[in-house]
Structures are given as C-alpha cells and as structure tokens.
Structure 1
C-alpha cells in the first residue's frame, strides 16, 4: 500500500516531464522556422476543430489548419498546425516560415518571439510547480511513514 503513494506521483512526474519536453520542442521548432528567413505562400486546405473534456470537465476546443506550400527547391509540403488564426478558412493564402532542412516543421504564425517565450515560460513554470508538488507529496508521505514506523511497534 505504501508503494502506491510513491508510484502514482512518480508516474505523474514522468508525464509532466514528457509534456515539458514537448512544449520545449515545439517552441524551438517555431523559433527555428521564424529565424530561418525562408518564407513561402501556402494555401489553407482544411480547417477543423477538435474538442476535449465534457461531462463534469470543462470543454476545450482547438482549431487546426492544414496547409500546403512549395519550397524554393520545388518540393510540395503539407503540414498541420494547431491553434492558428480563426480568420483563416480553406482556400486562403497565408505566408508560412520554414527551416530549410525540415520544411514540414513550418508555421503560419507570424513572428512573435516575446509571446512565444512568455507562453513557453508560463507553461514550464506551471509544470515546475506541479512537479514540485509531486516531490513534496512524496517527501511528506515518506516522513509520515517514517514517523509511523517509529511510533508503532
């Protein structure tokens, strides 16, 4: 039974670390695309939403866009991006930025390094507080069981 109080927070810590890694990876991809200086005109092929939650949980809706563009080398690239502008509809032409070595990591978001850094920082701070709470819980449980072992025969 005691192990349960260590296993569950450890699993939660691992999940939070994977989430933090994903946030950092996507932030770096977007930043690289902005800094590459390569742009292309892309056509929005599709726009759709996904929802999560429901029941007793809050419902959240995410907007997705599917874009297609041609690189300077003539390669056709199709990519999907979450959280784009709600004013972009299928058939619209938008400017995308992409790194030369990985054009499939393109973004249609306009450059905003400060906004990207602030958003990434806030998410990482939240993950850090969550991870610290898991560690504090495990330390508290360990202390509680240590006291119980000393007091009980």
Structure 2
C-alpha cells in the first residue's frame, strides 16, 4: 500500500517531465523557424477541430487544426498539420509560413511573436514545476505519516 503513495506521484512526475520536454522542443522548433528567415506562401488545405475532455462536469477543450501545403525554395512540396491556428483561416486561404531548410515539415504558420512564445512556455514550465513540487511534497508527507504509524495509516 505504501508503494502506491510513491509510485503514482513518480509516474505523474514522469508524464509532466515528458510534457515539459515536448513543450520546450516545440518552442525551440517554432523559434528556429522564425529565426531562419525562410518563408513561403502556403495554402490551407483543410481545417478541423479536435476536442478533449469528458464533458458533463468536466470542461471540454477544443483545438483548431490547419493542414497547410507549400513549396520550399528548392522546389519540394511540403504538407504539414499545425494545431492552435487562428479560427479566421479557412480552407483555400493563403498564409505565410516560416520554416527551416533542413526540416521544412516542422514549419509554422504562426506569425513571429517571440515574447508571447517565451511567456507561454515560461508559464507552462512554472505550472509544471509547481505540479512536481506538489507531488514531491505529497511523497514526503506520506513518508512521514507511514513512519509515525509504523506502516499503518491512521
């Protein structure tokens, strides 16, 4: 029983660390694309939404996705899907995309907003840090409760 009070928070911490690594990686991809200076005109081929959450008493989150296609400066045709795009971009619209020459499939149609990207990433990392601290505090508290009760919870 005591192992659950350690295993579950450790698994939760592992998921949060994984999410933080993915968040920082995507932020670096977007920043690198903006800094590359390479742009192209892309056409929105499709837009769709995905939902997550249970409904009922829990909130439902809707994410807007767009599928874009563009031609790189060296003539390659690239298609990519990007989440959290503007709801005002519709199928058939043309947008400017930023990309890296060696990884054009990691392009972004988001307009450069370095401060917003840094603030969003920083806030999420702070939230993840608080969550990890809560998990560690929970494990420490569980350790002391088990130590005082000789392995039996009061």
TM range (shorter): over 0.9
What is the CA deviation profile of residues 22-53 of structure 1, one whole-angstrom value per residue up to 9, with x for unaligned ones? 11011000000000000000000000001111
- The gaps in structure 2 that reach 5 residues or longer are none
Count matched residues.
151
Q: 1:90 to 1:150 in 2, by over 3 A?
A: closer
**1:93–1:143 Cα change, 3 Å:** same
Three-state SS of the structure 2 residue aligned to 1:121 is: helix
Q: Which runs of 5+ in 1 are unaligned?
A: none
TM, length-normalised to structure 2: 0.95
1:46 partnered with 2:46: yes
Partner of 2:86: 85
Q: What is the match of residue 68 of structure 2? A: 67
Q: What's the CA shift string for 1:56-108, capped at 9, x where partnerless?
A: 21011000000000000100000000001111000000000001110000000
Aligned partner of 1:124 in structure 2 is 125
**Structure 2: how far apart are the matches of 1:143 and 1:149?**
10
Matches within 5 A, 1:114-153: 114-149=115-150
Looking at secondary structure, tell me which structure has more helix per residue: 1
Task: Tell me how far 1:55 sits from its aligned partner.
Answer: 2.7
- Aligned CA RMSD, in angstroms, stands at 1.2
Matches of 1:101 and 1:75, distance apart in 2: 11
Greater mean deviation of Cα atoms: 79-88 or 51-60: 51-60
State the secondary structure of the residue aligned to 2:85: coil
